[in-house]
Structures are given as structure tokens and as C-alpha cells.
């Protein structure tokens, strides 16, 4: 589910990457230690960091700068449908299973001559299964349903009169957006001198404005638009030179759910 905390984390990641383009094991882009954090700085820690020449960048959602921008339906939307990794090959009266199991999948065998109508027998394969256990599981289901089926290794054998098809269904992810909001986020630079502020601010501002579209952890996106900049020297007697970058971020509150593909409307499942 996307939340303002996810937006903050995404911005922290962007700012950190801009200040440390070669990784944190290498010097920063301003040749000084940098700390990027969510939330408002703790005064005591901030004083310590400023005293050691450290740039602190805080990412904080602004009070009173939020509005409801909901305008989409709550219909389910497909996020991803992976390709099956199990194959089921029908040759006469045998079905041979092959492949690997990287994720749960449903393996179904449909008998076209089943009375009073065709019916599908479904084995829910998990990552602990093998092709052999899949074939054995389906054989057991068929036998329980009155079909004289057998298995040997990864091969399932059906009676001579059976007309069969096989299908493999995967689990896809769907998402729903229940509401949408726009929130002001303040990215503040706390610097021990104006020179550091002048070096760091353009780097951070450019990184933010170039990444208008944020990818959030749940797979949804947020749109970030620049609003204004504020500069404060009012605490320079304490060696605090500050610059605030204000961005409006619009994002949805979403829920992601995993659903199995439908491989039959009438099935016998283990």
C-alpha cells in the first residue's frame, strides 16, 4: 500500500544518490559528509553534525499542504502476470510435465469426455513440489474421481478412452486505488556555511526536478512537481544556513492483491 512514508523514502533515495553518485563508500559530490533523513532533525544531533561540517538533508511532509485529488475508479487493474515455468505436454494418453517451479502455479488436466460434462482436475503446485509430485498428485485426484490414471516420474498416463487437455495457471498481481492525494513535501538543507548550501542545493534540486515520476515500493507511481524555494539565514549566529525546496507530490493509496488465473469454471482441486 502506498503511503506518505513511501513517498518520503523515495525522495530520500533520490537525494542520497545525487549526493553520492558513486556510492557512499566514495566522497560525496560536495566533498563533505552528508546525511539524508526522513523527519525533522533532532536539535542536539543537528548541532553536532553542523559542528563537524556535515550537511543534513531532511525530508518532511508539510502540515496544511494536502488536498484530495481522487478521480479514478476503484476497479482492479492488472499489475503483472508472470509467464508459467511449468509445461504440460499432451501426447496421446500421456501428459509429461517439465520445467521449474519458481513460484506457486496451478496445473490442470481437463477430460473432454467426462460425464455429464467436461471437468478439470487441478493440482496446486508449490515451490516444494517437483514434476514427479505434480504427476502423482494429479493421478491421485483422477483416481478419486473415478478415472483410472497412473503416474511414473513426471509422466501422467490416462485411460485409452480419455480425451484430455492440460493447462498451467499462474498467480498475477492486481492493484486497486482507493483514494488519491496531493501533499507538500519540504526537502530542507541544513548547512554549517553558505558555501556548502550553494554547492549542495542545485545538485539536490536538479535531481528532484529531473525525476518527476517516482516509483513507489508497491509498484504504483507518484508525480512530483516543484513549487518554491525558501532561504533562511536567520540563525547564522548559530552557524545554520538553511534552504527549503518545496515540492507537491501526488500519489494514490493503493492495495495490491495476488490472484490465481482461472483455468476452469468447474474443477476438482486437491
pLDDT tens-digit profile of 44-98? 999 999 999 999 999 999 988 889 998 878 888 787 899 999 999 999 999 999 9
Last residue of a domain, which of 146, 169, 192?
Answer: 169
Question: Is residue 91 domain-shared with residue 105, that is, in the same domain?
Answer: yes
Cβ atoms of 142 and 158 within 8 Å: the answer is yes
Is residue 153 included in any domain, yes or no?
yes
Question: Do 66 and 24 reside in the same domain of the chain?
Answer: yes
The pLDDT value recorded for residue 238 is: 66
Q: Which of 76, 6, 134 is nearest to 258 (CA)?
A: 76
Helix (H/G/I), strand (E/B), else coil: 53: coil
Domain membership flag for residue 115: yes
Q: Are 159 and 93 in contact (CB under 8 A)?
A: yes
- Give a yes or no: residue 87 inside a domain: yes
Flag whether 13 is in a domain.
yes
Q: Which of 154, 169, 184 marks a domain boundary?
A: 169
In a domain? residue 63: yes
Residue 136 to residue 130: CA distance in whole angstroms: 10
Residues 182 and 64 in one domain: yes
Query: What's the gap between Cα 212 and its chain centre?
Result: 19
- Please check whether residues 56 and 87 belong to one and the same domain: no
pTM assigned to the model: 0.68
Terminal CA-CA length for the chain? 32
Residue 52 resides in a domain: yes
- Low-confidence residues of the chain, pLDDT below 50? none
What's the pLDDT score for residue 113? 59
Query: Do 182 and 65 reside in the same domain of the chain?
Result: yes
Q: Examine residue 269 and state whether it is found in any structural domain, yes or no.
A: no
Q: Decide if 264 is inside a domain.
A: no
pLDDT at 106: 96
Q: 219: domain CATH number?
A: 3.30.2000.10
Mark whether 210 and 144 lie in a shared domain.
no
Q: Quick one: 106 and 234 in the same domain?
A: no
Same domain, 112 and 128: yes
Structural domain including 211 reads 4-73+175-258
Residues 10 and 121 in one domain: no
202: Cα separation from own chain's centroid: 30
Number of domains in the chain: 2
Q: Among 134, 169, 204, give the residue marking a domain's end.
A: 169
The alpha carbons of the chain give a radius of gyration, in whole angstroms, of: 29
Q: Judge if 187 and 55 occupy the same domain.
A: yes
Q: Tell me: the pLDDT tens digits for 22-31? A: 999 999 999 9
Shared domain for 165 and 90, answered yes or no, is: yes
The answer on 179 and 66 residing in a single domain is yes
Conformational region of residue 48, where left means phi above 0, alpha means psi within -120 to 50, and beta covers everything else: alpha
Amino acid at each position: 500500500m502506498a503511503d506518505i512514508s513511501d513517498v518520503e523514502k523515495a525522495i530520500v533515495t533520490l537525494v542520497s544518490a545525487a549526493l553520492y553518485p558513486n556510492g557512499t563508500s566514495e566522497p560525496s559530490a560536495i566533498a563533505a559528509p552528508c546525511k539524508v533523513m526522513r523527519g525533522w532533525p533532532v536539535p542536539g544531533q543537528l548541532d553536532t553534525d553542523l559542528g563537524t561540517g556535515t550537511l543534513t538533508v531532511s525530508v518532511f511532509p508539510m502540515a496544511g499542504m494536502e488536498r484530495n485529488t481522487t478521480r479514478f475508479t476503484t476497479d482492479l487493474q492488472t499489475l503483472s502476470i508472470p509467464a508459467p515455468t511449468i509445461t504440460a505436454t499432451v501426447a496421446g494418453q500421456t501428459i509429461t510435465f517439465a520445467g521449474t517451479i519458481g513460484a506457486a502455479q496451478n496445473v490442470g488436466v481437463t477430460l473432454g469426455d467426462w460425464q455429464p460434462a467436461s471437468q478439470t482436475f487441478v493440482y496446486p503446485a508449490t515451490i516444494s513440489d517437483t514434476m514427479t509430485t505434480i504427476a502423482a498428485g494429479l493421478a491421485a485426484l483422477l483416481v478419486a474421481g473415478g478415472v483410472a490414471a497412473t503416474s511414473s516420474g513426471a509422466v501422467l498416463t490416462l485411460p485409452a478412452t480419455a480425451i484430455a487437455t492440460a493447462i498451467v495457471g499462474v498467480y498475477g498481481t492486481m492493484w486497486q486505488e482507493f483514494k488519491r492525494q496531493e501533499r507538500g513535501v519540504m526537502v530542507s538543507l541544513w548547512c554549517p556555511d553558505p558555501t556548502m548550501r550553494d554547492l549542495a542545493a542545485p545538485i539536490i534540486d536538479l535531481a528532484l526536478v529531473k525525476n518527476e515520476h517516482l516509483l513507489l515500493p508497491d509498484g504504483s507511481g507518484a508525480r512530483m512537481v516543484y513549487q518554491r524555494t525558501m532561504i533562511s539565514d536567520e540563525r547564522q549566529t548559530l552557524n545554520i544556513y538553511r534552504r527549503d525546496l518545496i515540492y507537491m507530490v501526488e500519489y494514490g493509496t493503493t492495495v495490491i492483491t495476488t490472484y490465481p488465473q482461472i483455468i476452469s469454471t468447474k474443477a476438482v482441486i486437491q
